[in-house]
Structure 1
Amino acid sequence: MIATKDIAPAERARSTSFNEASARTRLELLLDAGSLVEFIGPEQREISPHLKIFDLPEQFDDGIVIGHGRLDGAPVFVAAQEGRFMGGAFGEVHGAKLTGLLRAAREIGTIPVLILFDTGGVRLQEANAGELAIAEIMRAVMEARNAGVKIIGLIGGRSGCYGGGGLIAGCCSALAVSEPGRIAVSGPEVIETNRGVEEFDSRDRALVWRTMGGKHRRLLGAADVFADDTVQDFREAALELIGSIGAFDLDRLKAEQVRLADRLRRFGACEDAIDIWTAEGIAHAEAVPELPADQFIALANRIGRASRDAR
């Protein structure tokens, strides 16, 4: 049996599931070997001031890893949420670390930021502090982009990208998503609780994935690249997006408005993602969820519905 430490980092990246890996493992394998330098690491014990009140476990990095490293030799700032701690939810310290990273990127102006989303939204236990953190992060993203910083969201974690995370992702320059990744503002359980099971059955996993999952988001143009579920595939997606992002200006915002209006006109009457895929001209649309990654990527490229939106 070969020990993990004896396997080359590139081989580990090709064989490691992005979905199943921890936040630090994702970063260590995504970046050039040995280049990750963490800011405000666990040794500084910057923990949430709120969780103890509710007798909840704390984590010394408050569920997010931030730092800098190199990607194919070039410098990048990075942030990775730990979905296995409170579902990657945003709290005061968690949010402040990401906000600070984005503000640093804005001041430098030339170093891209990679955000590895893995979150169910805001911690209910931190309520207003968590909501404020989302607002501050969104402002920091837009200020950094306005300063010329490219901000890439990578979505493939267990918790998906829900709530405030979905809003922040929509502010990014570009997004890469895998099949396990889901993107939405309201999660399945939230929709069912507020609108009833007749509106959305959160236990219907096939419905959840074809409504919020990576394949659907890519076909809609809401994600720019579809990646297979390995860290190496996300590394390649990040490099592709960094190299292809255009300017952030008024014309891009206007294009977003046109794209959204067109999407509503074309698909507003559709009741299911399969109806949308059929309207896109995809033969045997019901088979899309079963397509292997390489076949789906070829399909998405053939459809050619590239994102033209404000990200």
Structure 2
Amino acid sequence: MNRENFELHASRAATRTSYAECTARERLAHVVDAGSFREWLPPAERIMSPHLAQLGVPGAFDDGVAIGEARLAGQRVFAAAQEGAFMGGGVGEVHGAKLVGLFQRALRDKPAAVLLLADSGGVRLHEANAGLIGVSEVMRALLDVRAAGIPVIVLIGGANGCFGGMGIVARCADRIVMSDAGRLGMSGPEVIEASHGVEEFDSRDRALVWRTTGGAHRHRTGDCDVLVADDVVAFRDAAIDALGCTPVFTLEALQAEHRLLVDRLDTLQP
């Protein structure tokens, strides 16, 4: 390592910031070029879920997701970051509509990529039907963007992980970047335990949870493309590297995914 690289490494180590401990907007600020994020429908617009108010549940002025455009290594990108501190990053009607709108605008404006900083337990139970519809619309819009040749990059490293409908959304993307702290799956540990009992899955067993859904495990099974440290600089570097990926949206690619799942099932058979 030459002196210049050593000094750069030392500087980064001294200013290391945990990705998992950041809020949604802090993650965006660290990942994209400094000062470049311009938010659409910010909290000042007060675009909130109408359903939560009817149920007497406190809402958020951004409905738990920040969307907008920014620069990444000088290239124009569209980005969304879910706020896991608000209802576990759950997707409701407005939350989902904001994500759909981001992807639809990407089809029109053709950015270099779309970044999704996921931190969600899935669909918001308070507005489950609207959330399920929202997730399905997000998947359709994401696949339209990929078909148009625009890469979709998902970053996962928040406290809630990426579960439920958002877990499916993530696996529809071109590239998934995770940290050791990140988790990815369909049903979350608490859901499995509630449905099948603690004997099937103990959600309090942290070793079991991360051994099943954690970033390192997902990287080994091929569900995660890049594994990074819990560091905002590492996520930014991985996002920049992913800008060069070309969306592979073909029948052959889908068949390869199916073979991966079949091989995994065969491996797990007793």
- What is aligned with 2:82? 81
Give the Cα–Cα distance (whole angstroms) in 2 for the partners of residues 267 and 208 of structure 1. Answer: 18
Is contact 1:152-1:172 (8 Å) kept? Answer: yes
- What is aligned with 2:8? none
1:127 and 2:128 matched:
yes
Residues 147-193 of structure 1: CA deviation (Å, up to 9, x unaligned) = 11100000000111011110101111110001111101101111111
SS at match of 2:135: helix
- What is aligned with 2:212? 211
Letter in 1 for 2:135: I
Return 233-242 or 17-26, whichever deviates more: 233-242
- What is aligned with 1:176? 177
SS at match of 2:69: strand
Is contact 1:105-1:111 (8 Å) kept? Answer: no
Is contact 1:155-1:161 (8 Å) kept? Answer: yes
Give the Cα–Cα distance (whole angstroms) in 2 for the partners of residues 194 and 102 of structure 1. Answer: 34
> Share of identical aligned residues, percent?
51
Structure 1 residues 141 and 246: alpha-carbon distance in aligned structure 2, compared to 1, 3 A threshold: closer
- Give the superposition deviation at 1:219: 0.5
Give the Cα–Cα distance (whole angstroms) in 2 for the partners of residues 226 and 210 of structure 1. Answer: 15
- What is aligned with 1:117? 118
Is contact 1:13-1:29 (8 Å) kept? Answer: no
Residues 231-272 of structure 1: CA deviation (Å, up to 9, x unaligned) = 110011111222234532122112112222222222344xxx
Give the structure-2-normalised TM-score: 0.92
- What is aligned with 1:196? 197
- What is aligned with 2:5? none
1:38 and 2:34 matched:
no
1:16 and 2:17 matched:
yes
Residues 53-107 of structure 1: CA deviation (Å, up to 9, x unaligned) = 2221111111000001000111110000000011100011111000000011122
- Give the superposition deviation at 1:12: 9.8
SS at match of 2:66: strand
- What is aligned with 1:272? none
Is contact 1:181-1:214 (8 Å) kept? Answer: yes
Give the Cα–Cα distance (whole angstroms) in 1 for the partners of residues 122 and 143 of structure 2. Answer: 19
Return 38-47 or 194-203, whichever deviates more: 194-203
Give the Cα–Cα distance (whole angstroms) in 2 for the partners of residues 89 and 17 of structure 1. Answer: 22
- What is aligned with 1:25? 26
- What is aligned with 1:237? 238
Give the Cα–Cα distance (whole angstroms) in 2 for the partners of residues 133 and 120 of structure 1. Answer: 14
Gaps of 5+ in 2: 1-10
- In the comparison of the two structures, how many residue pairs are matched? 260
SS at match of 1:115: strand
Is contact 1:13-1:30 (8 Å) kept? Answer: no
Letter in 1 for 2:42: G
Give the structure-1-normalised TM-score: 0.81
Letter in 2 for 1:67: G
1:52 and 2:58 matched:
no
Question: Aligned ranges for residues 292-311 of structure 1 at < 5 Å?
Answer: none
Structure 1 residues 67 and 256: alpha-carbon distance in aligned structure 2, compared to 1, 3 A threshold: same
Give the Cα–Cα distance (whole angstroms) in 1 for the partners of residues 111 and 81 of structure 2. Answer: 20
The alignment yields a C-alpha RMSD, in angstroms, of: 1.6
Structure 1 residues 14 and 135: alpha-carbon distance in aligned structure 2, compared to 1, 3 A threshold: farther
SS at match of 1:244: coil
Letter in 2 for 1:263: R
Give the Cα–Cα distance (whole angstroms) in 2 for the partners of residues 177 and 115 of structure 1. Answer: 12
Is contact 2:163-2:185 (8 Å) kept? Answer: yes
Structure 1 residues 141 and 13: alpha-carbon distance in aligned structure 2, compared to 1, 3 A threshold: farther
Letter in 1 for 2:148: A
Is contact 2:33-2:70 (8 Å) kept? Answer: yes
Gaps of 5+ in 1: 1-9, 270-311
Return 12-21 or 108-117, whichever deviates more: 12-21
Give the Cα–Cα distance (whole angstroms) in 2 for the partners of residues 12 and 70 of structure 1. Answer: 24
- What is aligned with 1:153? 154
Structure 1 residues 213 and 60: alpha-carbon distance in aligned structure 2, compared to 1, 3 A threshold: same
Residues 175-212 of structure 1: CA deviation (Å, up to 9, x unaligned) = 00011111011011111111111111111111011100
Give the Cα–Cα distance (whole angstroms) in 2 for the partners of residues 201 and 177 of structure 1. Answer: 23
